[in-house]
Amino acid sequence: MMQTFQQDCMELAMRKFREGKVDRRALLAGLVGLGVLPAGSDAAAQAAQEMVMVNWGGVANQGFGTNYGAPFMAANPGWKVVQDSTGPSAGRIRSMVESGRTTWDLCDSSASSAILLGKAGLLNKIDYSVVQKSDVISPAFAMEHGAAPYSFSSVLIYDTAKFPNGGPQNWADFYDVQKFPGTRLLRRDALAVLDGAQMALGKSPAALYPLDVPACLAKLREIRRNCVFWTNGSESEQFMRTGEAVMGQIWHTRATILERETSGRLKFIWNQGLLQGGIFVSPRGNPGGAMVQKLLASMLANPEPQVELLKFLGNGPTNPRAAAVVPEEFKRFNPTDPANVAVQCTLDGTWWGENYAELNSKVLDVITG
C-alpha cells in the first residue's frame, strides 16, 4: 500500500517525539493539526495506541493482519493492531488475566472457551451497542462473551478411490463399518464428534440438541477400534493424504486443501457438516480497553476482507452480505454459502460451553479405553 503524505508527516512527528526534539504536548498539537486526531477529544491522550490480536500461528498471522487489522487501522488512525501467534488457549488466557497483567486484546478462541472463560469472569462482555448482531448470519456467531468474524465446519471427507461404488454420504454411513470398511479419522475431542454420532443415531440435525450423551458415547465406542485421532489440523491432513484413514471428520479448510491437491480423489461433502463460529474473545483488563469492541465490530461489519480471508485461508465469512460477493470458484469451499449452510448443522456453542469440559473427559475415556 502506498504511504500517504499524511502518514509520512505523522511518522516524522513521531520520530521527533521519540528523539526528544518535541514534547508530548507539541506532538499531540501537531497530530491534531494534521487532522489525525480530533482536537480536544480524549482520543488525543491515547495517541498511537496498540491492540494485540492473538492467533494460532502459521498463515493466520498474515491473513488476520491484512484482513482484520489493516481495515481497522485505516478507519481509526492513531491505532495500531499487531498480531501475536502465541496460541490463545483457554489456559493461557486464564493465567494471563489472573496474573493481573493482560497484554492481549482480542483472541481467536472458540465457543466453548468463550463460555468456560466467560463463566469464570475472565472475559469482557461483547458490547452489542457497538458490535452489530445484524452483521452475522447466525445468532450462534454473536455470543455473550465472544463473536465470530469467520466460520468453519467439521465435514466428512473420504477417499473416492477406496469406494468405487459411492462413498459415505452422512454420519450414519461414517459409523457403518460393514458397508464402508476402513480406518476412520476423528478429532480427539468431544466437540463435533459427538454431534456426528448423534446424527448417526438418526436424530434430525434440526433438533439435535441437547445431545443424548450416553447414546452418543456408546455409538463412538462401537467404532473406536476402527479409528485414528488427530489433534491438530496439519495432522488431520497428513492422515488423509497418506492413506492412514479412508474417511474422516476434519475441518473444511484442511478438506479443501486435500480436495484441490488430489483433484477430487479425496472429496468432502457439506452434508451434515458441523458449522461453527471462529469466536474471538477479549480477556478482561485488556490494554486497548473499550476500543476492542470497535475492532471486533469492524471485523464483523466488513464483508470484503472476510471474503479475502476465504480466498486466502479458507475461513468462511459470517457477514450476511459476504456470500453474494464470493467468486464462483470459491463457493464450493465456502461454509456459509447459502447452499452449503442449508445442508449443514450449526453447532450449538451454548450447549457445548455448559458441557464441554465434562464430555471431553468422557470422550477421552472412550477413545483411550
Partner 1 sequence: MRRDTGWWLLIAPAFLLLTLVYIAPIAQVLAISVMEPSPGLGNYERLFTSESVQRVIVTTLRICIITTAIALLLGYGLAYVIALATERARRWWLLAVLVPLWISVLVRAFAWVTLLRRQGVINEGLIAAGVITEPLALVWNETGIVIGMVHYMVPYAVLPMLAAMREVDPRLLAAARGMGASRGFAFSRVFLPLSMPGVIAAGVLVFIFSLGFYITPALLGGGRTLMVAEWIKLQILDLLRWGLGAMMATVLVLAILATLVVFSRLVNLRRLFGGGA
Task: Select 30 or 196, whichever has its Cβ closest to partner 1.
Answer: 196
Rule CB under 8 A: is residue 364 a binding residue for partner 1? yes
Rule CB under 8 A: is residue 360 a binding residue for partner 1? yes
Rule CB under 8 A: is residue 244 a binding residue for partner 1? yes
Assigned C-alpha cell, 221: 465406542
- Cell 479448510 sits at which residue? 253
Task: Select 152 or 229, whichever has its Cβ closest to partner 1.
Answer: 229
Which range touches partner 1 (CB under 8 A), out of 114-122, 156-164, 253-261, 271-279?
A: 114-122
Rule CB under 8 A: is residue 174 a binding residue for partner 1? no
Which range touches partner 1 (CB under 8 A), out of 28-36, 128-136, 263-271, 355-363?
A: 355-363
**Distance between the two ends of the chain, CA-based, in angstroms?**
55
Query: Are the beta carbons of 245 and 239 closer than 8 angstroms?
Result: yes
Rule CB under 8 A: is residue 222 a binding residue for partner 1? no
Which range touches partner 1 (CB under 8 A), out of 215-223, 240-248, 313-321, 347-355?
A: 240-248
Rule CB under 8 A: is residue 242 a binding residue for partner 1? yes
Rule CB under 8 A: is residue 344 a binding residue for partner 1? no
Alpha-carbon span 35 to 66, nearest angstrom: 25
CA distances from 13 to 33, 37, 221 (A): 11, 13, 66
Look at residues 82, 146, 81, 86 and name the one whose alpha carbon lies nearest to residue 112. 146
CA angle, corner 307, sides to 304 and 310, nearest 5? 155
The helix (H) or strand (E) run that includes residue 358 is: helix 349-368
For the chain, helix (H) and strand (E) counts, in that order, are 16, 10
Residue selected from 61, 89, 170, 226 as contacting partner 1 according to rule CB under 8 A: 89
Rule CB under 8 A: is residue 261 a binding residue for partner 1? no
Q: Residue 154's Cα: distance from chain center in Å? A: 12
Which residues would be at the binding site for partner 1 (CB under 8 A)?
A: 89-92, 94, 116-117, 120, 188, 224, 227-231, 242-244, 356-357, 360-361, 364-365, 367-369
